[in-house]
């Protein structure tokens, strides 16, 4: 079922139904950073029933002063370690970081719409939607 999302200040819409057939393009593909805050680290560790220190050691790496989730390589693709290709889903969905919750409405894409369209098949031109 189609569910169109819009956000004030963004010149595009997002059709959430595209996620069903997309195979997690935003969780796979080119290597990148999936940043997690201290509060998010605690939430994910709790969800996984892990000690925070153990979670950080096993699932995160440090990038400058921040922590990012580790990736696993699958052929040419780099997948977030929490992406499950069998179910096409996020195994920490309830505690996924803000960076994931707010995609595709990132300030970065406000001036890079064509790039975003290549990365996410759910992007729609705002004027073509009825909402």
- Give contact residues for ligand SF4 (rule: CB under 6 A): 18-19, 22, 24-27, 34, 69, 80, 82-83, 90, 92, 96, 100, 103-104, 120-122
- List all residues 6 or more positions away from 127 whose beta carbon is below 8 Å from its beta carbon: none
Q: How far is the CB of 26 from ligand SF4 (least distance, A)?
A: 3
Please name which of 129, 111, 125, 108 lies closest in space to residue 26, comparing C-alpha atoms.
108
Nearer to ligand SF4, 45 or 92 (CB): 92
Nearer to ligand SF4, 4 or 22 (CB): 22
76 class by beta-carbon count within 10 Å (0-12 exposed, 13-18 middle, 19+ buried): exposed
Q: Is 81 strand, coil or helix?
A: coil
Q: How far is the CB of 111 from ligand SF4 (least distance, A)?
A: 19
Nearer to ligand SF4, 51 or 98 (CB): 98
C-beta separation of 55 from 48 below 8 A: yes
Q: How far is the CB of 88 from ligand SF4 (least distance, A)?
A: 8
Tokens of 39: 């509060």
Nearer to ligand SF4, 41 or 100 (CB): 100
């Amino acid at each position: 079922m189609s569910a169109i999302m819009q956000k004030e200040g963004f010149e595009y819409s997002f059709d959430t139904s595209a996620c069903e057939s997309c195979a997690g393009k935003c969780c796979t593909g080119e290597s990148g950073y999936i940043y997690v805050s201290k509060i998010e680290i605690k939430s994910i560790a709790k969800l996984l029933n892990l000690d925070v220190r153990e979670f950080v050691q096993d699932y995160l790496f440090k990038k400058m002063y921040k922590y990012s989730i580790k990736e696993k390589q699958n052929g040419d693709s780099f997948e977030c370690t929490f992406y499950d290709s069998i179910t096409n889903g996020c195994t920490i969905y309830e505690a996924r970081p803000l960076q994931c919750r707010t995609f595709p409405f990132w300030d970065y894409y406000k001036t890079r719409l064509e790039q975003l369209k290549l990365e996410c098949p759910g992007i729609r031109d705002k004027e073509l939607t009825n909402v």
